[in-house]
Amino acid sequence: MGPLTGIKIIELAGIGPGPFCGMMLSDMGAEVIRVDRLGSRARGQDVLNRGRKSIAVDLKSDAGREVVLKLCESADAIFEGFRPGVTERLGLGPDDCRARNKRLVYGRMTGWGQDGPMAQAAGHDINYIALTGALHAIGPKGGKPVPPLNLVGDFGGGGMLLAFGLVCALLEAARSGEGQVVDAAMVDGAAALMAMFFTMKAGGMFQESRASNMLDGGAHFYGTYETKDAKHIALGSIEPQFYALLIEKAGLDAEDFSAQMDQSRWPEYQEKLTRVFKTKTRDEWTAIMEGSDVCFAPVLALSEVAEHPHNKARGTFQELDGLTQPAPAPRFSRTGVSLSHASRAPGQDSQQVLLDAGYDAEAVAEMIRTGAVSIPE
Protein backbone atom coordinates (compact mmCIF):
# COMPACT_ATOMS: atom_id res chain seq x y z
CA MET A 1 0.00 0.00 0.00
CA GLY A 2 2.28 2.77 -1.25
CA PRO A 3 1.50 6.49 -1.14
CA LEU A 4 0.04 6.44 -4.68
CA THR A 5 -2.33 3.54 -4.00
CA GLY A 6 -5.70 4.35 -5.61
CA ILE A 7 -4.16 6.37 -8.44
CA LYS A 8 -4.67 4.92 -11.93
CA ILE A 9 -2.25 5.83 -14.71
CA ILE A 10 -2.12 4.82 -18.37
CA GLU A 11 1.33 4.44 -19.94
CA LEU A 12 1.66 4.48 -23.71
CA ALA A 13 4.69 2.22 -24.03
CA GLY A 14 7.98 3.75 -25.09
CA ILE A 15 11.66 3.35 -24.25
CA GLY A 16 14.08 4.62 -21.61
CA PRO A 17 12.68 7.54 -19.61
CA GLY A 18 9.02 6.61 -20.14
CA PRO A 19 9.31 3.13 -18.64
CA PHE A 20 11.44 4.56 -15.81
CA CYS A 21 8.66 7.02 -15.02
CA GLY A 22 6.14 4.16 -15.04
CA MET A 23 8.38 2.13 -12.73
CA MET A 24 8.70 5.02 -10.28
CA LEU A 25 4.93 5.48 -10.16
CA SER A 26 4.04 1.80 -9.89
CA ASP A 27 6.72 1.31 -7.22
CA MET A 28 4.86 3.91 -5.18
CA GLY A 29 1.61 1.95 -5.43
CA ALA A 30 -0.09 3.50 -8.45
CA GLU A 31 -2.00 1.16 -10.75
CA VAL A 32 -0.11 1.65 -14.02
CA ILE A 33 -1.55 0.03 -17.13
CA ARG A 34 1.04 -0.21 -19.89
CA VAL A 35 -0.39 0.00 -23.39
CA ASP A 36 2.03 -1.99 -25.54
CA ARG A 37 2.11 -1.95 -29.30
CA LEU A 38 0.48 -4.81 -31.11
CA GLY A 39 3.14 -7.36 -32.00
CA SER A 40 5.55 -6.30 -29.24
CA ARG A 41 7.51 -9.20 -27.79
CA ALA A 42 9.05 -9.65 -24.37
CA ARG A 43 12.83 -10.04 -24.23
CA GLY A 44 13.05 -11.57 -20.80
CA GLN A 45 12.54 -9.60 -17.63
CA ASP A 46 12.82 -5.83 -17.85
CA VAL A 47 13.33 -4.05 -14.52
CA LEU A 48 11.99 -0.78 -15.94
CA ASN A 49 8.69 -2.49 -16.78
CA ARG A 50 8.08 -4.14 -13.41
CA GLY A 51 4.89 -3.73 -11.46
CA ARG A 52 2.50 -2.93 -14.32
CA LYS A 53 -0.31 -4.64 -16.17
CA SER A 54 0.09 -4.87 -19.93
CA ILE A 55 -2.51 -4.61 -22.66
CA ALA A 56 -1.40 -4.87 -26.30
CA VAL A 57 -3.40 -2.55 -28.55
CA ASP A 58 -3.47 -1.64 -32.24
CA LEU A 59 -3.43 2.13 -31.78
CA LYS A 60 -4.01 2.71 -35.50
CA SER A 61 -7.37 0.95 -35.46
CA ASP A 62 -10.61 2.65 -34.43
CA ALA A 63 -11.38 -0.10 -31.93
CA GLY A 64 -7.88 0.05 -30.44
CA ARG A 65 -8.00 3.83 -30.14
CA GLU A 66 -11.37 3.57 -28.42
CA VAL A 67 -9.92 1.14 -25.88
CA VAL A 68 -7.34 3.72 -24.79
CA LEU A 69 -9.94 6.51 -24.66
CA LYS A 70 -12.22 4.33 -22.55
CA LEU A 71 -9.34 3.60 -20.15
CA CYS A 72 -8.82 7.36 -19.84
CA GLU A 73 -12.38 7.78 -18.58
CA SER A 74 -11.50 6.18 -15.24
CA ALA A 75 -7.81 7.12 -15.11
CA ASP A 76 -6.12 9.92 -13.20
CA ALA A 77 -3.29 10.38 -15.70
CA ILE A 78 -1.84 9.18 -18.97
CA PHE A 79 1.66 9.70 -20.31
CA GLU A 80 3.50 9.15 -23.58
CA GLY A 81 7.01 9.54 -24.99
CA PHE A 82 6.51 10.09 -28.72
CA ARG A 83 7.66 13.01 -30.83
CA PRO A 84 5.35 16.04 -30.65
CA GLY A 85 2.19 15.51 -32.70
CA VAL A 86 2.29 11.71 -32.91
CA THR A 87 -0.49 11.04 -30.41
CA GLU A 88 -2.60 13.81 -31.99
CA ARG A 89 -2.34 11.99 -35.32
CA LEU A 90 -3.38 8.77 -33.60
CA GLY A 91 -6.43 10.50 -32.14
CA LEU A 92 -4.99 10.12 -28.65
CA GLY A 93 -3.65 13.63 -28.02
CA PRO A 94 -4.41 15.71 -24.94
CA ASP A 95 -7.65 17.14 -26.33
CA ASP A 96 -8.91 13.69 -27.39
CA CYS A 97 -8.19 12.07 -24.04
CA ARG A 98 -9.26 14.96 -21.83
CA ALA A 99 -12.57 15.18 -23.73
CA ARG A 100 -13.41 11.91 -21.98
CA ASN A 101 -12.21 13.03 -18.55
CA LYS A 102 -11.54 16.68 -17.71
CA ARG A 103 -9.62 15.70 -14.56
CA LEU A 104 -7.11 13.69 -16.59
CA VAL A 105 -3.46 14.75 -16.36
CA TYR A 106 -1.61 14.22 -19.66
CA GLY A 107 2.16 13.75 -19.42
CA ARG A 108 4.47 14.19 -22.40
CA MET A 109 8.08 12.97 -22.34
CA THR A 110 10.41 14.23 -25.07
CA GLY A 111 14.04 15.15 -25.45
CA TRP A 112 13.69 18.67 -26.85
CA GLY A 113 10.20 19.60 -25.61
CA GLN A 114 6.88 20.16 -27.34
CA ASP A 115 8.05 23.31 -29.13
CA GLY A 116 11.21 25.07 -30.26
CA PRO A 117 13.30 24.66 -33.42
CA MET A 118 14.62 21.23 -32.35
CA ALA A 119 11.27 19.79 -31.27
CA GLN A 120 10.90 17.44 -34.24
CA ALA A 121 14.54 16.33 -34.45
CA ALA A 122 15.68 12.88 -33.39
CA GLY A 123 18.02 12.70 -30.43
CA HIS A 124 19.24 10.73 -27.44
CA ASP A 125 20.35 11.51 -23.90
CA ILE A 126 23.84 12.56 -25.00
CA ASN A 127 22.40 15.19 -27.36
CA TYR A 128 20.01 16.68 -24.83
CA ILE A 129 22.60 17.05 -22.08
CA ALA A 130 25.04 18.53 -24.61
CA LEU A 131 22.85 21.66 -24.78
CA THR A 132 22.77 22.16 -21.01
CA GLY A 133 26.44 22.39 -20.03
CA ALA A 134 26.27 19.02 -18.27
CA LEU A 135 28.16 17.04 -20.91
CA HIS A 136 30.79 19.75 -21.36
CA ALA A 137 31.57 19.65 -17.64
CA ILE A 138 32.29 15.91 -17.38
CA GLY A 139 35.50 14.27 -18.50
CA PRO A 140 39.27 14.14 -17.95
CA LYS A 141 41.51 17.18 -17.98
CA GLY A 142 42.60 17.89 -21.53
CA GLY A 143 40.29 15.16 -22.81
CA LYS A 144 36.91 15.03 -24.47
CA PRO A 145 33.53 15.16 -22.68
CA VAL A 146 32.43 11.78 -21.34
CA PRO A 147 28.74 10.79 -21.21
CA PRO A 148 27.66 9.83 -17.67
CA LEU A 149 25.82 6.79 -19.05
CA ASN A 150 22.29 8.05 -19.81
CA LEU A 151 21.57 8.97 -16.21
CA VAL A 152 21.36 12.76 -16.53
CA GLY A 153 19.02 13.14 -19.52
CA ASP A 154 16.95 9.98 -19.76
CA PHE A 155 16.50 9.25 -16.09
CA GLY A 156 17.29 12.16 -13.75
CA GLY A 157 16.25 14.90 -16.17
CA GLY A 158 13.66 12.79 -17.98
CA GLY A 159 11.70 9.96 -16.38
CA MET A 160 12.07 11.24 -12.83
CA LEU A 161 11.15 14.77 -13.95
CA LEU A 162 8.01 13.45 -15.63
CA ALA A 163 7.03 11.43 -12.55
CA PHE A 164 7.47 14.56 -10.41
CA GLY A 165 5.49 16.64 -12.90
CA LEU A 166 2.64 14.12 -13.02
CA VAL A 167 2.34 13.97 -9.23
CA CYS A 168 2.41 17.80 -9.05
CA ALA A 169 -0.38 18.03 -11.64
CA LEU A 170 -2.38 15.32 -9.86
CA LEU A 171 -2.18 17.27 -6.61
CA GLU A 172 -3.38 20.41 -8.39
CA ALA A 173 -6.20 18.52 -10.13
CA ALA A 174 -7.41 17.27 -6.75
CA ARG A 175 -7.96 20.92 -5.78
CA SER A 176 -9.15 22.40 -9.07
CA GLY A 177 -11.04 19.43 -10.49
CA GLU A 178 -9.28 19.85 -13.83
CA GLY A 179 -6.26 18.16 -15.36
CA GLN A 180 -3.59 19.68 -17.56
CA VAL A 181 -0.71 18.81 -19.88
CA VAL A 182 2.78 18.23 -18.43
CA ASP A 183 5.57 19.01 -20.92
CA ALA A 184 8.63 17.18 -19.53
CA ALA A 185 11.64 17.76 -21.77
CA MET A 186 14.96 16.10 -21.03
CA VAL A 187 16.86 19.23 -22.06
CA ASP A 188 14.88 21.19 -19.45
CA GLY A 189 15.36 18.55 -16.77
CA ALA A 190 19.09 18.24 -17.38
CA ALA A 191 19.37 22.04 -17.26
CA ALA A 192 17.60 22.06 -13.89
CA LEU A 193 20.09 19.51 -12.56
CA MET A 194 22.88 21.97 -13.41
CA ALA A 195 21.38 24.79 -11.29
CA MET A 196 24.08 24.77 -8.60
CA PHE A 197 26.85 25.09 -11.16
CA PHE A 198 25.36 28.27 -12.58
CA THR A 199 25.61 29.73 -9.08
CA MET A 200 29.19 28.53 -8.74
CA LYS A 201 30.18 29.91 -12.16
CA ALA A 202 28.63 33.29 -11.40
CA GLY A 203 30.59 33.39 -8.15
CA GLY A 204 33.89 32.56 -9.83
CA MET A 205 33.95 29.11 -8.24
CA PHE A 206 33.64 27.01 -11.41
CA GLN A 207 36.00 26.91 -14.37
CA GLU A 208 34.76 25.65 -17.72
CA SER A 209 37.85 23.53 -18.34
CA ARG A 210 37.18 19.93 -17.32
CA ALA A 211 38.72 18.37 -14.20
CA SER A 212 39.71 21.80 -12.89
CA ASN A 213 37.14 22.16 -10.14
CA MET A 214 36.38 20.72 -6.74
CA LEU A 215 33.54 18.43 -7.88
CA ASP A 216 34.68 17.32 -11.33
CA GLY A 217 37.81 15.36 -10.43
CA GLY A 218 40.11 18.34 -10.31
CA ALA A 219 40.56 18.27 -6.54
CA HIS A 220 42.76 15.62 -4.98
CA PHE A 221 40.28 15.14 -2.13
CA TYR A 222 37.23 14.57 -4.34
CA GLY A 223 37.68 11.84 -6.91
CA THR A 224 38.61 8.23 -7.52
CA TYR A 225 41.92 6.42 -7.16
CA GLU A 226 43.17 3.08 -8.44
CA THR A 227 44.24 0.55 -5.84
CA LYS A 228 46.89 -2.19 -5.83
CA ASP A 229 44.46 -4.76 -7.26
CA ALA A 230 43.41 -2.50 -10.19
CA LYS A 231 40.11 -1.61 -8.51
CA HIS A 232 39.11 1.84 -7.30
CA ILE A 233 38.03 3.84 -4.26
CA ALA A 234 36.06 7.10 -4.09
CA LEU A 235 36.88 10.08 -1.86
CA GLY A 236 34.79 13.11 -0.95
CA SER A 237 36.82 14.68 1.88
CA ILE A 238 35.72 18.27 1.34
CA GLU A 239 35.29 19.64 4.86
CA PRO A 240 38.55 20.44 6.71
CA GLN A 241 37.94 17.93 9.50
CA PHE A 242 37.17 15.17 7.01
CA TYR A 243 40.22 16.10 4.97
CA ALA A 244 42.42 15.95 8.07
CA LEU A 245 41.14 12.46 8.80
CA LEU A 246 41.90 11.39 5.22
CA ILE A 247 45.48 12.54 5.56
CA GLU A 248 45.79 10.75 8.90
CA LYS A 249 44.34 7.43 7.72
CA ALA A 250 46.36 7.52 4.50
CA GLY A 251 49.51 7.89 6.60
CA LEU A 252 50.51 11.19 5.04
CA ASP A 253 52.29 14.24 6.42
CA ALA A 254 49.64 16.77 7.55
CA GLU A 255 51.99 19.71 7.03
CA ASP A 256 52.84 18.60 3.50
CA PHE A 257 49.10 18.40 2.62
CA SER A 258 48.01 21.51 4.54
CA ALA A 259 47.15 23.66 1.49
CA GLN A 260 43.90 21.81 0.77
CA MET A 261 42.22 24.57 -1.24
CA ASP A 262 45.30 25.80 -3.09
CA GLN A 263 44.36 24.71 -6.60
CA SER A 264 47.91 25.18 -7.85
CA ARG A 265 48.95 22.25 -5.66
CA TRP A 266 46.09 19.90 -6.54
CA PRO A 267 48.01 18.10 -9.33
CA GLU A 268 50.96 17.52 -6.99
CA TYR A 269 48.69 16.18 -4.25
CA GLN A 270 46.87 13.96 -6.73
CA GLU A 271 50.12 12.38 -7.84
CA LYS A 272 51.10 11.65 -4.25
CA LEU A 273 47.70 10.16 -3.39
CA THR A 274 47.78 8.11 -6.59
CA ARG A 275 50.99 6.48 -5.43
CA VAL A 276 49.72 5.96 -1.88
CA PHE A 277 46.45 4.27 -2.87
CA LYS A 278 48.29 1.82 -5.12
CA THR A 279 50.10 0.42 -2.08
CA LYS A 280 47.01 -1.44 -0.83
CA THR A 281 44.07 -3.27 -2.30
CA ARG A 282 40.60 -1.79 -2.44
CA ASP A 283 39.44 -4.03 0.40
CA GLU A 284 42.41 -3.10 2.54
CA TRP A 285 41.67 0.60 2.13
CA THR A 286 38.02 -0.13 2.83
CA ALA A 287 38.95 -1.75 6.13
CA ILE A 288 40.93 1.37 7.06
CA MET A 289 38.55 4.12 5.92
CA GLU A 290 35.00 2.88 5.38
CA GLY A 291 32.46 4.04 7.95
CA SER A 292 34.69 6.90 9.11
CA ASP A 293 34.30 10.61 8.42
CA VAL A 294 36.84 10.44 5.61
CA CYS A 295 33.85 10.30 3.23
CA PHE A 296 35.09 7.13 1.60
CA ALA A 297 33.53 4.30 -0.38
CA PRO A 298 34.80 1.43 -2.51
CA VAL A 299 33.84 1.73 -6.16
CA LEU A 300 31.65 -1.32 -6.77
CA ALA A 301 30.67 -3.00 -10.02
CA LEU A 302 27.04 -3.93 -10.68
CA SER A 303 27.86 -7.52 -9.83
CA GLU A 304 29.08 -6.47 -6.37
CA VAL A 305 26.57 -3.91 -5.13
CA ALA A 306 23.95 -6.24 -3.66
CA GLU A 307 26.50 -7.88 -1.37
CA HIS A 308 27.82 -4.74 0.27
CA PRO A 309 26.91 -4.85 4.00
CA HIS A 310 25.20 -1.45 3.99
CA ASN A 311 23.10 -2.28 0.94
CA LYS A 312 22.22 -5.68 2.41
CA ALA A 313 21.19 -4.14 5.74
CA ARG A 314 18.88 -1.63 4.06
CA GLY A 315 17.63 -3.95 1.33
CA THR A 316 18.70 -1.44 -1.30
CA PHE A 317 18.76 -4.23 -3.85
CA GLN A 318 16.20 -7.02 -3.97
CA GLU A 319 15.66 -10.13 -6.02
CA LEU A 320 12.46 -10.61 -7.98
CA ASP A 321 11.96 -13.78 -9.99
CA GLY A 322 15.70 -14.42 -9.91
CA LEU A 323 16.75 -10.96 -11.09
CA THR A 324 18.61 -8.64 -8.71
CA GLN A 325 17.38 -5.06 -9.02
CA PRO A 326 17.07 -1.78 -7.11
CA ALA A 327 14.34 -1.71 -4.49
CA PRO A 328 11.61 0.94 -4.68
CA ALA A 329 12.74 4.35 -3.42
CA PRO A 330 12.18 6.56 -1.51
CA ARG A 331 10.86 4.89 1.64
CA PHE A 332 7.86 5.96 3.69
CA SER A 333 7.25 5.58 7.41
CA ARG A 334 3.55 4.73 7.14
CA THR A 335 2.70 3.77 3.57
CA GLY A 336 5.34 1.19 2.81
CA VAL A 337 6.44 0.34 -0.72
CA SER A 338 7.49 -3.05 -2.09
CA LEU A 339 8.07 -4.90 -5.35
CA SER A 340 4.79 -6.36 -6.60
CA HIS A 341 5.62 -8.43 -9.67
CA ALA A 342 8.11 -8.65 -12.52
CA SER A 343 7.52 -7.24 -15.99
CA ARG A 344 4.63 -8.74 -17.91
CA ALA A 345 4.71 -9.99 -21.46
CA PRO A 346 3.03 -7.51 -23.85
CA GLY A 347 -0.69 -8.17 -23.75
CA GLN A 348 -0.50 -10.56 -20.80
CA ASP A 349 -3.28 -8.67 -19.01
CA SER A 350 -5.30 -7.59 -22.06
CA GLN A 351 -8.41 -9.55 -21.17
CA GLN A 352 -8.51 -8.54 -17.52
CA VAL A 353 -7.85 -4.87 -18.27
CA LEU A 354 -10.72 -4.82 -20.76
CA LEU A 355 -13.09 -6.59 -18.37
CA ASP A 356 -12.15 -4.16 -15.61
CA ALA A 357 -12.83 -1.27 -18.00
CA GLY A 358 -16.42 -2.47 -18.48
CA TYR A 359 -16.25 -4.55 -21.65
CA ASP A 360 -18.13 -7.83 -21.52
CA ALA A 361 -16.51 -11.16 -22.36
CA GLU A 362 -18.07 -11.26 -25.84
CA ALA A 363 -16.71 -7.81 -26.74
CA VAL A 364 -13.27 -8.77 -25.45
CA ALA A 365 -13.24 -11.93 -27.53
CA GLU A 366 -14.28 -9.97 -30.62
CA MET A 367 -11.48 -7.42 -30.17
CA ILE A 368 -8.95 -10.22 -29.87
CA ARG A 369 -10.40 -11.93 -32.95
CA THR A 370 -10.23 -8.77 -35.06
CA GLY A 371 -6.75 -7.83 -33.82
CA ALA A 372 -7.68 -4.59 -32.07
CA VAL A 373 -5.97 -6.07 -29.01
CA SER A 374 -3.86 -9.15 -28.57
CA ILE A 375 -2.78 -11.67 -25.97
CA PRO A 376 0.48 -13.66 -25.85
CA GLU A 377 0.53 -16.78 -28.01
Catalytic residues, which ones? 124, 154
Side chain identity at residue 184, one-letter code: A
- Rounded CA separation 136/208 (Å): 8
For 19, 83, 84, 113, 118, the CA distances from 122, given in Å and listed in that order, are 19, 8, 11, 12, 8
Please write down the HEC assignment for all residues of 91-106: CCCHHHHHCCCCCCEE
Q: Strand ranges (DSSP E) for 237-316? A: 296-298
For residue 142, the SS3 value is: coil
Please confirm whether the linkage preceding 330 is cis (ω < 30° from 0): yes
Given a contact cutoff of 8 angstroms between Cβ atoms, the answer to whether 77 and 166 are in contact is yes
Q: Which of 299, 279, 304, 298 is nearest to 229 (CA)?
A: 279
Side-chain half-sphere exposure of 137, counting CA atoms within 13 A: 21
For residue 24, the SS3 value is: helix
Q: Which of 51, 52, 78, 82 is nearest to 67 (CA)?
A: 78
- Residue by residue, DSSP assigns 339-370 as ----PPPTTTTHHHHHHHTT--HHHHHHHHHH
